[in-house]
Amino acid sequence: MHKRKLLRRGGGSLLTGLLLALVLNFTMSGLKTSADTTSPWLGVTDPVLQKDSELAPGTAVPYSVNGNRDCTQTTMAFVTNKQDVCGVETSFGLLDSNSNLQLNNTKSAGKLNNYNGYQQGIIGVPSSSTVINYTSPPTAGLYLWFTKNLQDAINTTVNPVTYQVNYQVNRGADVGLRDKAHTLLAAQTDSLSFSSNGKWMVVDSPYRAMLRVNLDTFEVLPFAPAFNYDIGIAPGAQTAVSSDGRYAVVASRPFNLFKIYDLSTCGVVPNSVSTPVTCQSRDLLPFMQSKITNLQGVSAIRFLSDDSLSLYANYYLTAGVSSTNQVAKYILSSAGGSAQRIEYLAMGDSYISGEGAYDYQDGTDTDNNHCHLSQKSYPHLVAVSLSFNSFHSVACSGATMNDINNGSGQYKGQVRDNKTRDQRNSESILSSFSVGYINQSDFVTRYRPGAVTLSISGNDIGFSSIVKTCVTASYTCYNTYEDRLELIRQINAKFPKIVETYKKIKNVSPDSKVYVVGYPQIAFVGGNCANNVHLNTEEIGFSQQIISYLDLVIKQAASKAGVYYVDTENALAGHRLCETKSSDVAVNGLTAGNDKPSFLHGPMGNESYHPNQLGHQILEQAVLAATQSLTQTMPTANPNAAPPSETGLAILDMPHTNRGIYNLNYNNQMTGDVAYKGTLQSIYVDGLEYSLKLQSSYSATIHSDPINLGSFSTDANGDLSFSAQIPSGVPTGYHTLQVTGTNFAGELVNIYKIIYVAASQDDYDGDGIVNSIDPCGFVGVFHQDYDQDSLDDSCDGFIDEPPAVITPPPTTEPTSPADETPADPEPTTTQNEQEQSTPPADSSTPDSESVPDFQPATVPVDIPQVINTDVQPADNLVPNTSSQTVQAEPSSVIATAATITNQETATLEPEVLSDSISKNMVAARVSTVEAAASSPTASRDYPKLMILASGSLLSIISAAAWKFRN
């Protein structure tokens, strides 16, 4: 204030002149040092203004606190009632302006009571675990107090009669809003706004300055004059700050103000803050008035990026006539900034990324990135059909709603490079549409697509893990009332989050048409299943019921959010597993895949039980028809939409065991995908995400037959980190690893993940055949390769028709001299190779670019192939896990393998071997067979030895098998 008064007095004082010279010199030097990074907002070129959407007459601007703080309108469930609230999505849960709190992954909300001495009311910071309390200062405004890591600072009480939960802050704040001199700075909370990532705050400090606050360090930067609150006019301040803290906007309709500040140009902050420091700025109001006739003011200003803002503008259609007021949303971009829109954006999980259709986009099928974004996915096909010039898909296999919404700086994405968003170049990621690195909703914010298709929530309930359990279980999966009720409640618990996800996309781009695509049925009940299905009739029926229920909840969530639901549940009818011949199915069966066991889903390929290329072609047509080629208008939101009642659900018509019912939470990050018998398995559960109690005991078990792994305690932050021994007696296969206990809300909680328990790192299924030569590796084989693609039908995702046999024209053999030994005859085609059989019932496959087209080499006529291509007709093909036991003496196998190596390979011409592998590789592979045959399980698993190779090698091993067997 002192410096400001001296400058305003004018006069000829030496002090005034010196101060003025210093200020001018500093300002010019600031301009000079920032010349290389001069903001486009501050240049001479005007920004660009585009109308994004026009609100219907009488429609209000989407609600936010004072126009400055976004919140999500949703329903909080209390023990005795439900309340419609507008809550802030913090890192610990949903907190509304009345201090109602619903912690992460809890069923019931409760009141959050302040620590003694603070006024009622707690302000949540988006994407942060920090909250703000306040007390009254001697003058205007409120003193702000910051409590970090709220989850560590609350106690829980549960009413013994009503069971209503309440939370009490148990300690004082960590820090107050102060300057470097430790002086408390009052704040006008109606001017308060946060960056979208929760790292920065802007607030007006009366009689001092507009402040930017770093919410990590709590340092303050006074960058603009404070409003005058003594003239009887409320400024109605509208503020915003960018996610990197560089830019801030301050606007006020009563004060005719709309300015943007480049905070990288500000001067040095003094120890005592009384006035703003010098910062470069631009008054945007004259430009806005030149573009919008009869402009009245702007509100709800948000940074989309450093170079673009969204805002709502009020203007009169007729000058001076308030009844003609109109509201529209605009995008304001700096000169040269990003104001572009795209026509169509696809986002979500594996069912929309094209997992299983192969032909993956470069960079999405690597060791670190398994987004598996297919160029044969139905969004790509839709874009081609509609001749879109600007289309992108940012979908990623395995995506959850967190991967859609989480804009925090600590979000690590779906890639496995262990980098946070703060460590990435978000601008480069957004401009290049790189997938898996940042949250997908930011692409909607940036590009405001004309149409969006979204598939999400399947991974939030662990749907793929549910299928895994059914595939390898020796019993019928989910065969009790309790098992299924927990799943139904798990889906229902996700309903508010699904609604929030849809609303967020809708709110950041109101003019976008948002089409939520349901999940298709993948299998047919009562049909004839091929060898790659691995599901019995009851399990297929259950899969249909759970998909139908999930689709119903998604449909209700779309209705509540006011977005369009695209029903694809029966889109694949006629082409589902077990419904038609295998070469005509639209869904992959069990697929070995190319995914490394340490990544994502263990030895089972991610492509398993996903639509194949035919499936995506069918889905393309279904989406086009249901949306009228992405032109279908959005429905009116139905505030009463909700999940169905549990009463009378057919899926729950199962036997009761009367065991306790847990609050299920699927957690794909809690441990690795593969555990090894007899070794320690590292397990970690984020206490904040699951609202675990501090320094409390939780039990770990592994199922199906429960085996207790021990009890383990959370740390002072509520995190649970431990190593548990996997017992050697656990059967090889998929099992459910569970962590159970009581959460902060006093609810029983079950945090689980389905993992594959392997015998060893070299031999997953413990059959004595090392992984590198084991045909399927993790499930039993059928010793059958109907389509002759060198994949056993048990784990061949797509069982196609066998290749046609082309008989070469007869050739004239040269006459050998009488004194020379005749040359060995060319190998001839066997009868088995010539016969064609009826195809299997169903399945799906990688395309021809993904699986090499090996041509089997011929073998001597008296040695038939072991791989049986003369299979039974389709209507007789049902899952059959039995295998014929061949009793064998290992020494005989070794001798036979050696004979084949030395004799049979010598008769094969080089061009025959070159189809797949060299002679050296043949010899090496036979050596591996010798080693495997020497194992204790050789006689039991000998049939498996017959399927260890492809192409020419297959013939060699088959010949050995035939000779040994006979």
Domain boundaries along the sequence of the chain: 2-33, 64-299, 344-457+494-625, 771-808+825-965
For residue 712, the SS3 value is strand
Q: For 44-57, what is the mean pLDDT?
A: 89
Query: Residue 337 — very low, low, confident or very high, per pLDDT cuts 50/70/90?
Result: low
- Token pair, residue 256, equals 């005719």
Report the SS3 class of residue 370.
coil
Whether domain 344-457+494-625 has CATH 3.40.50.300: no
Q: What is the pLDDT of residue 883?
A: 34
Please determine, for residue 597, whether its predicted confidence score (pLDDT) is greater than 90. no
- Is pLDDT larger for residue 944 or for residue 71? 71
Could you report the per-residue pLDDT of 660-674, keeping only the tens digit for each?
Answer: 888 889 999 999 989
Side-by-side strand order, sheet with 165-169: 72-77, 82-89, 93-96, 100-103, 110-113, 165-169, 154-158
pLDDT confidence of residue 886: 34
The CB density around residue 720, as the number of other CB atoms within 10 Å, is 24
Task: Name the CATH topology of 64-299.
Answer: Methylamine Dehydrogenase; Chain H (2.130.10)
pLDDT surpasses 50 at 453:
yes
Residue 163, token pair as written in the block? 């069971």
Among 144-158, 220-234, 421-435, 802-816, the least confident range: 802-816
534: left (phi over 0), alpha (psi -120 to 50) or beta: left
Q: Hey, what are 235's tokens? A: 């400024």
In angstroms, rounded to a whole number, what is the distance separating the alpha carbons of residues 353 and 395?
5
Q: Which of 58-67, 151-160, 235-244, 848-857 has the highest mean pLDDT?
A: 235-244
Mean pLDDT rounded to a whole number for the chain: 81
* Side chain identity at residue 76, one-letter code: M
H/E element holding 756? strand 748-758
Distance, CA of 561 to chain centre? 20
C-alpha neighbours within 13 Å on the C-beta side of residue 275:
11
Q: Is the dihedral of CA 642, 647, 653, 657 positive or negative?
A: positive
Q: Tell me if 597 sits within 8 A of 603, measured CB to CB.
A: yes
* Distance from C-alpha of 92 to C-alpha of 808, rounded to nearest angstrom: 71
Q: What is the pLDDT of residues 938-955, one digit of tens each?
A: 433 433 343 333 333 443
Residue 928 has pLDDT above 70, yes or no: no
Q: Read off the pLDDT of each residue in 529-538 and give the average, rounded to a whole number.
A: 93
Please report, for residues 177, 183, 544, the alpha-carbon distance to residue 274 in angstroms, rounded to integers and kept in the order given.
14, 10, 67
> For the segment 599-615, what is each residue's pLDDT rounded down to a tens digit?
334 567 889 999 999 99
- Spatial neighbors of 67 by CB under 8 A, at least 6 apart, are 61, 236, 238, 299, 300
Lowest-pLDDT range, 381-390, 408-417, 585-594? Answer: 585-594
The pLDDT > 90 percentage for the chain reads 58
Closest CA to 220 of 186, 251, 257, 258: 186
Q: Residue 33: is its pLDDT beyond 50? A: no
pLDDT tops 80 at residue 250: yes
Report the distance separating Cα 197 and Cα 409, nearest Å: 6
- Whether the predicted pLDDT of 901 surpasses 50: no
Closest Cα to residue 499, out of 559, 565, 567? 559
Locate 645 and state its tokens.
């009642």
Can you give the pLDDT at residue 241? 98
Question: Hey, what amino acid is at 12?
Answer: G
Q: Give the residue-averaged pLDDT of 725-737.
A: 92
Bridge-based pairing state of the strands 82-89 and 142-147: unpaired
Which tens digit of pLDDT belongs to each residue from 267-294? 999 999 999 999 999 999 999 999 999 9
For the chain, how many residues are written?
966
The residues, ordered by sequence, that sit 6+ positions from 864 with a Cβ below 8 Å of its Cβ are 830, 831, 832, 958, 962
Show the tokens assigned to 708: 């207790």
Cα distance between residue 240 and residue 649, in whole Å: 48
pLDDT the model gives residue 840? 58
First to last CA, the chain: 103
Tell me how far apart the alpha carbons of residues 790 and 954 are, in angstroms, rounded to a whole number. Answer: 8
A 10 A CB-CB count for 721 gives 14
CA–CA distance, 107 with 116 (Å, rounded to integer): 28
Lowest mean pLDDT: which of 588-597, 878-887, 900-909? 878-887
Name, in order, each residue with C-beta under 8 angstroms of 262's C-beta and a sequence gap of 6 or more: 39, 41, 42, 246, 247, 279, 280, 281
Query: Can you spell out the DSSP letters for 611-661?
Result: B-HHHHHHHHHHHHHHTTTTTPPPPPP-TT--PPPSTT-GGG-S----PPP
Q: Band the pLDDT of 811: cuts 50, 70, 90.
A: low
> CA 624 → CA 352, 502, 517, 566, 683, distances in Å?
14, 20, 11, 10, 44
25-29, 160-164, 282-286, 802-806, range with greatest mean pLDDT? 282-286
Cβ-contact 111, 79 below 8 angstroms: no
617 close to 381: Cβ distance less than 8 angstroms = yes
- pTM as predicted: 0.74
Same fold, 64-299 and 344-457+494-625: no
613-626 vs 378-385: helix axis angle to the nearest 10? 50
Residue 771 confidence (pLDDT): 85
Please write the tens of the pLDDT for every residue from 173-218.
999 999 999 999 999 999 999 998 899 999 999 999 999 999 999 9
Distance CA 194, CA 215 (A): 10
Rounded Cα–Cα distance for residues 384 and 413 (Å): 29
pLDDT digit string, tens, across residues 392-449? 999 999 999 999 999 888 899 999 999 999 899 998 999 999 999 999 999 998 899 9
At 338 the pLDDT is 58
Above 70 in pLDDT, residue 545?
yes
The whole-number pLDDT of residue 767 equals 86
